[in-house]
Structures are given as structure tokens and as C-alpha cells.
Amino acid sequence: MKKFFTLVAAALTAATFSANAAVLLTEDFNFEPGTAMYGANGWLHYGLGEGFEIKTVDDALTLEGYRSEPVGSAVNITGENGEDVIKAFSDQNITSGTIYVSALIKVTEVGIKSYFLTMVPSNGSNTIADKIATTEYGRLGALQGSKDNTFKFYLARGSANNTTVTEEDFNVGEVYQVVYSYTFDASATKNDLVQLWVNPATNEEECEPTLVHKDTKSNDASKLMGIELRQAGVTSGKGNTVVIDALRVANTWKDAFVTEPTTAVADLNVEKVNSVRKYVENGQVVIENNGVKYNIAGQVIK
């Protein structure tokens, strides 16, 4: 058994963060409800914030056309002034192209204008380290809508003060699929593009966005390497309370829509292991265990 885990760990280490990989991160929060995310499945503290832990809740989200059956748990952003957690989606900084983040989102309580998802660069030399903060880029947040029990989404690039807000109101307590992206643009400075789609019409190709954010004041990201779950309470008030599930990070639009639950290494049949092989097939890295094929996100290839 120990040998098997060593082999799989080596294969995953070599394959999971390939620079050419389209699916960069898959997180289904497949833990028991009440599990603290800090220290679970590679999640680390962002900065030194403590208290009001980010934990899983028994509220796995579903949405027709994206995920029809609940998987595991979801994660709850309390909106309090507490810890934030971060996880690397690559083993090296990404400096070009577009990064897509997809998730199921349910805002359960609207607080002060605040963001709950953002991307960050490394806080070392191609390293996401524990309890160290860096600059946040590509912020996705929410604020009070024009009616009771509604909210609006907003985007920011490099500054939380320069935002673009949706015209449309969205319902508190309703599940939405959101996709938001950060596009590096080397043609000039302070011009990287951030876009948002809410319940996008197609998963085959990029469609018309719900919101486009451009500003000429915020700095561009020179590199990005991790995703952050952020709680946003401050002395002036409580931030939004948000349930997040089915989190994906990808560098193609289509791969942001991977919806099958992941299979953790611990779930593989370790008692009947014959061999573990890693190879490339049809343009993707395959990890094969006892005749069953898995992609680099740990999903069974059918």
C-alpha cells in the first residue's frame, strides 16, 4: 500500500501541474461537513488572519446543466473578519493567456460590498507559502441589490476600489454558476481584462459575458499562481456570506466546465494494485491504476 501511494504521488507530482494542462485545479470540497479548509487538500492561510475558520458545510450545490447530483460538501464564506485560505493551481506562475475560474455560488446573506474569490501570484520563487500575503488580482464580489433579498456581482482587477457592477439583480439563496476570467495583455500597462459570466449559455465556446471590467488605474498582474477564498468582514461591518462549490480553474473556456466529481488518491483500490502507469494519450496525461484511467484532476476517463 505504501508503495502504491508513493507511485501515485510521484505520478501526480509530475503530471498535475503541467504547463500545458488545461484543467489547473478541481476542488469539490469532498470532505465531511465542518472540516476546516486550512490544512485540507493543500489549502493554506493567506496572510495572518485568524478566527472564523472557513469550513465545509452540508450544503453541496447543484445546478441543472452543470451538476445534477450533490457531491460531498461545499465551503462557507462567513463574511466575518477571519481567516482567508489559498491554494496553488500551478507549480509555476502563469504570465500569459487567460485563466478561467468556475464555481457554483450561493449568496446567503448580503453584507457590505466585499469580494470572496480572487487570484494571487506566488509569495516566493514559484511558491505559495503559508501565512504570507501578496497582492490580489481579479476579484469577484457582491453588494446589495436594488431590492430586498437581491445582490449584484462586481469585478475588480488590481484594486478593490476600482470596480464594475452588474446592472442585473440576482437572488439571495439561489444557486448560480459563475465563470470569471483574467486575461494578460502585454500590449500596454494597466489594461489586463477581467470578465464575468453568470449561468453562461454554453460550455463549448466563450460566449457574451455578463460583465466586462476595464480600468486604467489598477495595476496588472505580472504573474498568477493561486486561488484565494476570502472573508471580508471589517470593523465597519460584516461581508457577504457565500456558499461555494464545484470550484474549477482552467486555461481554456471548455475545461472550466468539468463537472464530474474528483476521485481522491485515497479512494483508489489500493488492495488490488498491480501497477500505476503515467503516459500521454490523445493529448492528455493519463494515470492508470489496475486498468482504470484517471486524468490529472483525479477523474475517471470514460
Give the domain CATH number at 40: 2.60.120.200
Whether the Cβ atoms of residue 213 and residue 155 lie closer than 8 Å to each other = yes
Distance CA 276, CA 148 (A): 55
One domain, residues 147 and 167 = yes
Q: Is residue 23 part of a domain?
A: no
> How far is the C-alpha of 8 from the C-alpha of 289, rounded, in Å?
9
Residue 228 located in a structural domain: yes
Is the same domain home to 40 and 107? yes
* Same domain membership, residue 276 and residue 168: no
Q: Which of 229, 244, 261 is the last residue of a domain?
A: 261
Tens of pLDDT along the chain (302 residues) come to 433 333 344 444 334 444 445 899 999 999 999 999 999 989 999 987 777 899 999 999 999 888 888 999 999 999 888 899 999 999 899 999 999 999 999 999 999 999 999 999 998 777 888 988 889 999 999 999 999 999 999 999 998 889 999 999 999 999 999 999 999 999 989 999 999 999 998 888 899 999 999 888 999 999 999 999 999 766 668 899 999 999 999 999 999 986 555 544 434 443 333 445 655 565 556 676 656 776 655 666 65
Domain that holds residue 180: 29-261
Asked if 155 and 296 sit in the same domain, the reply is no
286 within domain boundaries: yes
What is 202-254 written as a DSSP string? -SSS----SEEE--SSSPPPS-B-EEEE----BTTB---EEEEEEEEEESSTG
> Do 187 and 99 lie in a common domain?
yes
Distance CA 12, CA 2 (A): 15
Asked if 155 and 13 sit in the same domain, the reply is no
The full length of the chain comes to 302
- Residue 8 in domain: yes
Same domain, 252 and 275: no
Asked if residue 24 belongs to a domain, the reply is: no
**78 and 49 together in one domain:** yes
Structural domain total, the chain: 2
Cell of 225: 499562481
Do 213 and 64 lie in one domain? The reply is yes
Q: Is 288 exposed, middle or buried (0-12, 13-18, 19+ CB in 10 A)?
A: middle
Q: Are residues 98 and 211 in the same domain?
A: yes
Alpha carbons 61 and 248: distance in angstroms, whole number: 14
Give yes or no: residues 44 and 91 share one domain. yes
From 139, 140, 197, select the one nearest 168 (Cα to Cα): 197
Same domain, 85 and 168: yes
Task: For residue 58, give every residue at least 6 positions away whose Cβ sits within 8 Å of its Cβ, in sequence order, or none.
Answer: 33, 73
pTM for this model (two decimals): 0.80
Cα–Cα distance between 77 and 54 in angstroms, integer?
6
